[in-house]
Amino acid sequence: MFKDRLIKNLISLEKTIPVIDKIASSYDDKETLALALFLFFKQEKILDRLAHIRSDLYSELKNRSYEEYEEFLDFLETDYVPWKIPYNATKEELLEKIKNSK
């Protein structure tokens, strides 16, 4: 059962990541690139896809030993630094950040 879910999730990632790579390398204009990425995320329900993968992974993790689960939680608390969402940024500031990002 886990193997089937794993394969399904890997296929989902394989349908997502190469398209993101293609979009990222297809536009010189960063604004158009950002809009194309947003369109892809919206039309293909990428956030739903990722949420499903995350849910499957957490389900599997909960089936692991207490030590493995604790190790993962420890990683989240100590090693993982989430991206800071620029809540108060204006559209112009966001576009500038996009243009200046690598």
pLDDT in tens, 11-42: 999 999 999 999 999 999 888 999 999 999 99
Q: What is the pLDDT of residue 66?
A: 85
Around 56, how many Cα atoms within 13 Å sit in the side-chain half-sphere?
17
Cβ neighbors of 69 (< 8 A, separation 6 or more) are 61, 62
What's the pLDDT score for residue 14? Answer: 96
- CA 59 from centre of chain: 18
> 65: left (phi > 0), else alpha (psi -120 to 50), else beta?
beta
Chain position carrying tokens 């990428």: 46
The string of pLDDT tens digits covering residues 50-97 is 999 999 988 888 888 888 888 888 888 888 888 899 999 999 999 888
Q: What is the DSSP letter of 86?
A: -
Nearest to 15 by CA among 55, 36, 45, 60: 45
